[in-house]
């Protein structure tokens, strides 16, 4: 959308934006939710909000899936 707006402004006026904006996508286009689901989403209730307090963020992060060898809480894990 930003690219289209920049093109219209450049066409109507003068070249205001000499370099057209482009998307910067990483290797992971979505963040995995704190419950391990496909995506982090407010509607699914598995997101870390900017308005969350430090204690809420800590609580959510401690529940996150981090080690593929540790499928349950009682499996030995690898902290690296």
Q: Digits of tens for pLDDT over the chain (80 positions)?
A: 888 888 899 899 988 888 878 878 777 667 778 877 777 888 888 888 999 999 999 988 887 777 777 777 777 777 66
How many angstroms separate the Cα of 69 from the Cα of each of 32, 72, 74, 78, 80? 17, 9, 11, 7, 11
pTM score, whole prediction: 0.48
CB 38 within 8 A of CB 30: yes
pLDDT at 55 (0 to 100) = 95
Query: How many contiguous H segments (helices) and E segments (strands) does the chain have?
Result: 2, 0
Supply the DSSP symbol for 18: S
> For residue 74, how far is the Cα from the chain centroid?
29
pLDDT at 29 (0 to 100) = 67
C-alpha 33/C-alpha 45 separation (Å) is 9
């Amino acid at each position: 959308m930003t690219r289209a707006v920049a093109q219209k402004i450049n066409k109507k006026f003068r070249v205001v934006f000499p370099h057209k904006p482009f998307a910067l996508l990483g290797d992971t286009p979505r963040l995995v939710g704190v419950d391990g689901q496909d995506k982090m989403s407010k509607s699914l209730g598995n997101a870390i909000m900017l308005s969350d307090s430090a204690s809420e963020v800590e609580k959510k992060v401690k529940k996150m899936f981090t080690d593929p060898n540790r499928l349950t809480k009682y499996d030995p894990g690898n902290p690296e």
